[in-house]
Amino acid sequence: GYISYVGTLKRLTTDIKRKRKTVEQTTIAQKKYMAHNNTYHFYIRSVIRLSIEVSPEDYGHYEEGDEINIEYGTFSKVYFCYY
């Protein structure tokens, strides 16, 4: 656990110092409401993320097959946001 944490933190620090991020255009493969914790998720076609948590408003606004953009660190692959 510790080695993984330090490695990710170092890569994230590199992203911040170099001001690097990647914007990936992807599509929504599936929409899911998780009743056990009252959250909304999009399953997306991305090599970086399997799913992302979204707001209830966006869950109602977007449909399966719609395109969205996700941002993540170029070196760390840490997910930042979607739009």
Model pLDDT for residues 21-71, shown as the tens digit of each residue: 999 999 999 999 999 999 999 999 999 999 999 999 999 999 999 999 999
14-50 burial code (b ≥16 CB/10 A, e <16): ebeeeeebeebebebeebeeeeeeeebbbebebeebe
H-state helical runs in the chain:
2-18, 56-61
Query: What does the block give as tokens for 48?
Result: 């970086």
Gap between the Cα atoms of 20 and 73, Å rounded: 6
pTM given for the model: 0.84
